[in-house]
Amino acid sequence: MSILIRNGRIVTAESDYQADIFIEGEYITAIGQALPFQAEREIDASGLLVFPGGIDPHVHLDMPFMGTFSSDDYTTGTKAALHGGTTMVIDFILQTQRDTLRSALTTWQQKANGKAVADYSYHMAVTDFNDAVAKEVVQMIEEEGITSFKTFMAYKGALMIDDGQMVELMKVVREHGGLVTVHATNGDMIDALIARHRAEGKLSPLYHYLSQPEVTEAEASGRFCDMLHYTGCPGYIVHMTCEGALNAVRKAAQRDQKVFVETCSQYLVLDASLYEKDFEGAKWVMSPPLREKKDQKALWSGINQGLVQVVGTDHCPFKWEQKKMGENDFSRIPNGHPAIEHRMELMFTEGVRTGKISLNKFVEVTSTNAAKIFGMHPRKGTITVGGDADLVIFNPEKKHTISVDTHHMNVDYSAYEGWELTGKCETVLLRGDVAIENGQCLLAPGSGQFIRRGKTSLII
- Figure out which of the listed residues 115, 183, 197, 377 binds ligand URP, where binding follows CB under 6 A: 183
Q: Smallest gap, in angstroms, from Cβ of residue 263 to ligand URP?
A: 12
Query: DSSP class of residue 388?
Result: B
- Figure out which of the listed residues 20, 314, 388, 426 binds ligand URP, where binding follows CB under 6 A: 314
Burial 85-100 (b: 16+ CB within 10 A, else e): bbbbbbbbbbbeeeee
Burial class (CB in 10 A: 0-12, 13-18, 19+), 449: middle
Burial class (CB in 10 A: 0-12, 13-18, 19+), 120: buried
**Residues 211, 191: Cα–Cα separation, whole Å:** 8
Q: Evaluate the omega torsion of the peptide bond into residue 36 and state whether it is cis, within 30 degrees of 0.
A: no
Residue 336 contact among ligand URP, Zn ion, none, beta carbon within 5 to 8 Å by kind: ligand URP
Q: Smallest gap, in angstroms, from Cβ of residue 286 to ligand URP?
A: 3
> Is residue 183 within the footprint of Zn ion (CB under 5 A)?
yes
Residues in contact with ligand URP, shown as a per-residue x/- string from 199 to 238 under the rule CB under 6 A: ----------------------------------------
- Figure out which of the listed residues 182, 286, 365, 376 binds ligand URP, where binding follows CB under 6 A: 286
CA 178 from centre of chain = 18
H helix intervals, 232-342: 243-254, 265-269, 293-305, 320-323
Nearer to ligand URP, 79 or 183 (CB): 183
Question: For residues 42-61, which are near Zn ion according to CB under 5 A?
Answer: none
Nearer to ligand URP, 235 or 387 (CB): 235
Q: Are 312 and 262 spatial neighbours (Cβ–Cβ below 8 Å)?
A: yes
Q: Smallest gap, in angstroms, from Cβ of residue 70 to ligand URP?
A: 8
**Residues 195, 193: Cα–Cα separation, whole Å:** 5
Q: Smallest gap, in angstroms, from Cβ of residue 205 to ligand URP?
A: 12
**Residues 50, 48: Cα–Cα separation, whole Å:** 7
Q: Are 72 and 338 spatial neighbours (Cβ–Cβ below 8 Å)?
A: yes
Nearer to Zn ion, 314 or 388 (CB): 314
Nearer to ligand URP, 62 or 314 (CB): 314
Q: Smallest gap, in angstroms, from Cβ of residue 239 to Zn ion?
A: 5
CA 449 from centre of chain = 18
Long-range pairs, 277-282, Cβ under 8 A, ≥24: 278/204, 278/205, 279/204, 279/205, 279/327, 281/204, 281/205, 281/206, 281/208, 282/205, 282/323, 282/324, 282/326, 282/330, 282/333
Nearer to ligand URP, 238 or 434 (CB): 238
Question: For residues 333-372, which are near ligand URP according to CB under 6 A?
Answer: 335-336
Residue 356 contact among Zn ion, ligand URP, none, beta carbon within 5 to 8 Å by kind: none
Question: For residues 410-449, which are near ligand URP according to CB under 6 A?
Answer: none
For 126, list phi and psi in degrees, rounded to 5. -95, 110
Q: Smallest gap, in angstroms, from Cβ of residue 434 to ligand URP?
A: 32
Q: Smallest gap, in angstroms, from Cβ of residue 343 to ligand URP?
A: 15
Q: Smallest gap, in angstroms, from Cβ of residue 19 to ligand URP?
A: 39
Question: For residues 42-61, which are near ligand URP according to CB under 6 A?
Answer: 60
- What SS3 class is residue 76? helix
Question: For residues 59-88, which are near ligand URP according to CB under 6 A?
Answer: 60
Q: Smallest gap, in angstroms, from Cβ of residue 92 to ligand URP?
A: 8
Q: Smallest gap, in angstroms, from Cβ of residue 212 to ligand URP?
A: 10
**Residues 13, 381: Cα–Cα separation, whole Å:** 9
Half-sphere exposure of 139 (CA within 13 A, CB side): 10
Nearer to Zn ion, 13 or 261 (CB): 261
Q: Are 53 and 391 spatial neighbours (Cβ–Cβ below 8 Å)?
A: yes
> Is residue 287 within the footprint of ligand URP (CB under 6 A)?
yes
**Residues 46, 51: Cα–Cα separation, whole Å:** 14
Q: Which stretch binds Zn ion (CB under 5 A): 221-229, 250-258, 312-320, 349-357?
A: 312-320
Enumerate binding residues for ligand URP (CB under 6 A).
Answer: 60, 183, 286-287, 314, 316, 335-336
> What does the binding site for Zn ion look like in residue numbers (CB under 5 A)?
183, 314
